[in-house]
Structure 1
Amino acid sequence: MQAPDVGARSVAWRGGFGRLWGAAVLSSFGDALRKAALPLLAASLTDDPLLIASVTACGYLPWLVFGLLGGAVADRVDQRRAMWAVDVARGLLVAAFAVAVAAGHATIGLLIALALALTTLQTLFDNAATALLPALVDRDALASANARLLTGQQLAGGLLAAPAVPLLLASSDSLPYAADAATYLLAAVLVASLRVPAPEHPPRPAGATLRSDIAAGLCALWQDRALRGLCVATALCNVGMGALIATLVVLVTGQLGAGSGGYAAAMTAYAAGSLVGGVLAGRLARRLGRMRGVLVAGAVQIAALVVMGTVRDLVALVAAMALFGVMGMVWNVSTRTLMQERGPAEMLGRISSAFRTLAIAGAPLGALLGGAAAAGWGAHTPALLAAVLFVLAVTALLPALKSADSGQTTQTAR
């Protein structure tokens, strides 16, 4: 890939990175509005818990089915064009859904279809975005750029959107979806205005197919010792996260007796901690190296999970959730940056999709394990189960430590 001019590659609010940041934050805000409103709409349409849960579950399913394909496509096309085209398509889909809600034509089937369609498109968008960022900022600025992107998304989706949902719903049931559609279309304009050279894809071997491209991405991920260790560790962590998040409401409202207010406090603490983690991620990486930063983050999260699973006090749980959020953001920023630094530019979409697909697969499994653990041994046990899984994750990272901090790049064929 040709390097854009130096001025376009600094982490500055004016220019390419600022526009990408604005598009990401707008989309996160709109997504949070829709995701908060959809379960409420589903509950108004049916009292069947399985159908209501199906709407949320369908938000994960396309990653397992189409995630690898989305990465292969992202490496074959102009990522900037793919991103704005996907956002236009998502904006039109959600706008049509808002009209259906306003007209009283919403059904559970329509909600499920929307969730499937949007997440399928997201598999292309997210992998293209991961591959595009190194074309907008210098290699040394990737960590700072990722921290700003993830922190901005957490601020918009985790803190600002939540209080906006009741206000929008008070005016109209369709308004959160109309707002989401608007954010997609505005984000598309920002991405379309980026000025980066079209990627120069190397000639493909005769007979190359999407299947062979996907296989090459999986091989590239597996052959890099650091990325392989990170992927295994992240998948284990996501099993633990699935167990924790799926049952946290039972722990807070049931065992601690803190009610919905206590649950809101715990989730707000996690979101606020994530913002702090975005600020600390770069500093930890400079002091310790990226992989050591991930190891420290995982170790601190283990301690936070043990507190959640053993201490019967809301204040302690809220503090542990805040610390858990801080270190979760450190983990995410460092992981994404390592992927962009070590992966060949022409394979970043496929490496990203392989990593995310394998990692996301753990979340629904964890939710089932957490539910079973809570039912069998009490609401505090999923946090302790998550702590055990995080211990295994940190252990999986140890062999990759030297490889990651050596600064060597993957030697996969470029």
Structure 2
Amino acid sequence: MQQDTATPRFPRSSPYWPVVSHPLLRRVLPGLAVSALGDGMALVAVTWLAMQLAPQGQRGTWTAVAVAAYTLPSAAGTIVFARRLAGRSGAQLAGWDAVLRAGALAAIPVAHLAGALTIGRYVALLAASSLLHSWGSAGRFTLIAELLPERDHLPANAVLGVIGQAATIAGPPLAGILIGVAGPVWVIALDALTFAVLAATYRLAVPGGTRAAPAEAAPSRTAGFAVIRQHRALRGLLALTFGFFLLFGPFYVAMPVLVTEDLHGSATTLGLYYTAFGAGSLVGGLATGYLRRWPLWPITIGIVIGFGGAMLPLGLDVPVGLSLPAFALAGLLWAPYRSTSMALFQRSTTTARLPQALAANGAVVVLAVPLGTMLGGPLTAAMGARHTLLLCAAATIALGGVAAGLARLPRRPSPTGGDPAGAGPAPEPQPRPDDPVSVGTA
């Protein structure tokens, strides 16, 4: 009897054990890791191929258009495909996104071999590949909500985050080597292959077809936005996330200028900052799962405030020896945000409505960083890089402070019961009526 109640040893004591040992998720995670590595390589390959295809003198413009095409059309896809994708399972949504990504990206090397790859066709294929991206992301987090109890959502979200962060660190240098050997078009071909592997993984590893469709015979194209609009906590979370990412956007413009003009550093110095941020993010991602017993709203708001505080040294006249560790701390705080915010969504609505809500959230959030980056140009030109970073850091702290004040206001009861925002200790999760309890629990 004493042996049964003894505290399990590592790794079984880890919050990640229920995730990596789950009979279905452990089959999906390798495919996700392979695909994430492909996307990490695409960070370099997409821009490099755009520069090769663009006319002389227009490389900057076309590179920016290519980067935007690889992400922004997902916002339109959220609305265009809402009726067709309503009621689908998480695995189906993520799998169809992977199929579209694989097919559209594979068409790029095919067009190259046919001698028909122009910069216009290249951008169009990138745009096509991203149309289901918001739905694919929603499908991954919905799959977690379908297969795991609520207490394991945060660690599972963190696993997805760590996979992405590790791929962002390993993918770009690997892409640089492969581009030097074979060229960027074949790195994109390899990215397409990784998405094909991911699509096969979802198809073969996760059984089950379509969940029951929603009650509406013809669901609205904006049903996901309606879910968020009807839920006070989700409205606040969407506003907080949009503001947080928007204020991070100017960093991409101001940081290189700060390093070169204010710090008189080189590309190596800039690389050190990026490496510090990435290393901090990896540590923060690994630590996220251990926050599962903490109230999620205070953590999420605290991340925003703490991130703004960690960014302050970049806007102050402090030596690199102080600003570099502060930037690593910013990365550590940045990493858990997506996991905690997704966990708030997962516990705030049913799994039947979750994909639509998450896709709507993704459609809005995907615009935040590009808009912030566009805002960073005139801000940096008018105020200078250091003052721009200081302004964004202070505004981020203020955003978190406003969110903290609003979170203290009385909440209306959630339609799904319990504490939707995670502001207090969560009760022991109970199976939802629409949870596929029989899937993967044997």
Deviations 1:143-162 (A, max 9, x none): 11111111011101x11112
Name 2:391's counterpart in structure 1.
385
Residue of structure 2 equivalent to 1:51: 62
Picking from 367, 371, 374, the partner of 1:361 is 367
Residue-pair matches, total: 397
In structure 1, the residue matched to 2:418 is none
Matching residue of 1:159:
169
Q: Deviations over 1:2-50 (max 9, x none)?
A: xxxxxxx941346211223222222211112122112122222333122
CA 1:321/1:234 → structure 2, altered by over 3 Å: closer, same or farther? Answer: same
Equivalent runs, 1:75-86 vs 2, <5 Å? 75-86=86-97
Partner residue in 1 for 2:273: 266
- Map of 1:170 onto structure 2: 180
- The structure-2 alpha-carbon separation of the partners of 1:230 and 1:393, relative to structure 1 and needing over 3 Å to count, comes to farther
Q: Which runs of 5 or more residues in structure 2 are unaligned? A: 1-16, 412-420, 435-442
Q: Is the 8 A contact 2:105 2:189 kept in 1?
A: yes
Taking the aligned partners of 1:244 and 1:298, their CA distance within structure 2 comes to: 15
User: Which residue matches 1:290?
Assistant: 296
Residue identity matched to 2:195: Y
Alignment partner, residue 347 of structure 1: 353
Q: Is the 8 A contact 1:220 1:351 kept in 2?
A: yes
CA gap 1:43/1:200 in 2 versus in 1, 3 angstroms: closer
Please list the CA deviations of residues 236-287 of structure 1 after superposition, one character each: whole Å capped at 9, or x if unmatched. Answer: 111111111233222222321221111111112111111111122233342x
Give, in whole Å, the separation in 2 of the partners of 1:261 and 1:118.
Answer: 33
Q: Deviations over 1:124-147 (max 9, x none)?
A: 212222222212222211111111
2:19 partner SS: coil
Write the distance in 1 (CA, Å) between the matches of 2:357 and 2:368: 18
Structure 2 residue aligned with 1:4 = none
1:35 match: 43
Structure 1: 5+ residue stretches without partners: 1-8
| CA displacement, residues 366-393 of structure 1 (integer Å, 9 cap, x when unaligned) | 1122111110111112212322331243
2:263 matched to which residue of 1? 256
* Alpha-carbon spacing, 1:82–1:332, altered in 2? closer, same or farther (3 Å): closer
Q: Aligned partners of 2:214, 2:121: CA distance in 1, in Å?
A: 42
**1:130 match:** 141
- The Cα of 1:73 is off from its aligned counterpart by 4.3
Question: Aligned in 2, Cα 1:74/1:241: closer, same or farther, shift over 3 Å?
Answer: farther
Indicate which of 308, 317, 320 corresponds to 1:311: 317
Which amino acid is 2:227 matched to? A
Residue aligned with 1:77, SS = coil
Q: Which residue of 1 aligns with 2:254?
A: 247
Superposed displacement of residue 313, structure 1: 2.9
Could you give the per-residue CA deviations for residues 271-329 of structure 1, whole angstroms, max 9, x where no partner exists?
1111111122233342x411111122112111112111113433333222211111111
* Cα separation, 2, equivalents of 1:82 and 1:134: 14
The AA in structure 2 aligned to 1:28 is A
User: Could you say which residue in structure 2 is the equivalent of 1:300?
Assistant: 306
Contact 2:284 2:331 in 1 (8 A): yes
Shift of 1:346: 0.8
Matched-pair contact (CA < 8 Å) for 1:310–1:380: yes
Give the drift of 1:74.
3.9
Tell me whether 1:16 sits opposite 2:15 in the alignment.
Answer: no
Of residues 230, 233, 239, the one that matches 1:226 is 233
Partner of 1:181: 192
Query: How high is the TM-score relative to the length of structure 1?
Result: 0.88
Whichever structure has more helix as a proportion of its residues is 1
Tell me the amino acid that sits aligned with residue 166 of structure 1.
Answer: G
Mapped contact 2:75–2:362 kept (Cα < 8 A)? no
CA distance in 1: counterparts of 2:89 and 2:306, whole angstroms? 40
